[in-house]
Structures are given as C-alpha cells and as structure tokens.
Amino acid sequence: MNWIYEPWPWYVSGPLIALIMFVLLLIGKQFGMSSNLRTACAAMGAGKASDFFKFDWRSERWNLMVVLGAVIGGFIAANYLSDNTVEINPQVAKQLASDYNLKSAGDTYLPPEIFSSEALGDPQILGVLLLGGLLVGFGARYAGGCTSGHAISGLSNLQLPSLIAVLGFFVGGLIMIHFLYPLIF
C-alpha cells in the first residue's frame, strides 16, 4: 500500500493540471487561483474603498467554492495520501542546512523553522510570512494573474502578456533566492 503515499511524478501531475484547466473551460470558466482574492475583498465590503472591488462578486462565488475544495483536498492529501516528506536534490538540501540552518529537507513537507506554529513567535518569521503574502497578492493583481492564470492558462492561449508576466515571476524569484535570502535568513 506504500505507493499511495508516494509523491506523483511531474509527468502525472502536469497533465492533471492541464485537465483541470480544460474542465473549467468546458464549464465556461477560466483557470486562475488568485482572482478569488479580489472576490474575497469585494465580499468583505472593499467596494466602499475602491471601484476595483465594485463588481457583482456573487457571480464569482464559484471561485470561492474552488478554494474551499482546495482546502479539503489539502486535508485529504496530507492526512490520507502522503507521508508528508519531500525529497529534494541532496546538494540543495545540504546548502539549505549549511547556509540557512534549515535542516528538515527530506523529513517534512514545509520547513518547520519557518512554518511551525512556534516559529510564529519570532517577529522576523511573522514579518516574512506577512510580507511574502502581501507581495503575492499585490503582484498577482497588478500582473493580472498568477502561476495558474498566466503560466498555465495564459501561455496555453499563446498570450504575449503572460510570457512577460512569467518572465517577471522568475526574475523576482531568482532575485529573492539568490540575493535577498542571504540578507533575510
């Protein structure tokens, strides 16, 4: 029964992600996981502060159902379908341990040094999580989409703007990991 807990290789996961996009297209929707953040803002009354949130958010409720489903999917996968470890390139794991003292590669799904509840007591970690989320939310709306909306949906539809956005994702990611991580962690 161990195969149930094994991670799925890329050539299984990638095609399944494409399948999700097709199913959504066939029911008249677009694959994108960040527009629900705008829907959430609108539902909380942000329309009073900016016209950007003045739209009929009720028509976008489907979006929030997908989010709820993703939460349930995460619960099912973590509790019943996984041993919650992630094997990465041993060299990268070694570098994480020596440079940043993050030693849990291969043992956990996320590094507890950043994501355990105890780590939240460290104001720096709290700041990292909050600032990171802020950048993701702000950047996704500014760019008009995230990894799913641009890298999968947009590029599949051969959109030049999506190619520019995906290049931006990687420029930002590489700057963060290679230049800012040594200053932050």
Partner 1 sequence: MRYITYLVIGVFFGIIMYKSEAASWFRIYEMFQFGSFHMYGIIGSALVIGMIGVQILKRASIKPLDGSEMSLNPKDKGWKRYLFGGILFGLGWALTGACPGPMYVLAGSGYFSILIVIVGAIVGTFLYGLIKDKLPH
User: Site residues for partner 1, window 61-100 (CB under 8 A)?
Assistant: 61-63, 65-79, 81-82, 84, 86, 88-89, 91-93, 95-96
166 contributes a contact to partner 1 by CB under 8 A: yes
CB of 112: closest distance to partner 1 in angstroms?
A: 9
Place of tokens 């094997």: 87
Cα–Cα distance measured from residue 180 to residue 178, given in angstroms and rounded to the nearest whole number: 6
> What one-letter code names the amino acid at 41?
C
Cα–Cα distance measured from residue 28 to residue 85, given in angstroms and rounded to the nearest whole number: 37
* Residue of the chain from 97, 98, 180, 182 that contacts partner 1 (CB under 8 A): 180
CB of 56: closest distance to partner 1 in angstroms?
A: 16
- The torsion angles phi and psi of 75, rounded to 5 degrees, stand at -65, -50
What number of chain residues touch partner 1 (CB under 8 A)? 126
139 contributes a contact to partner 1 by CB under 8 A: yes
CB of 55: closest distance to partner 1 in angstroms?
A: 11
E-strand spans in the chain?
none
Contacts of 8 (CB under 8 A, 6+ apart): 16
Q: Which of residues 97-136 bind partner 1 (CB under 8 A)?
A: 105, 109-111, 114-117, 119-120, 126, 128-136
Contact 21, 153 (CB under 8 A): yes
Six token digits for residue 108 = 């956990």
CB of 1: closest distance to partner 1 in angstroms?
A: 15
18 contributes a contact to partner 1 by CB under 8 A: yes
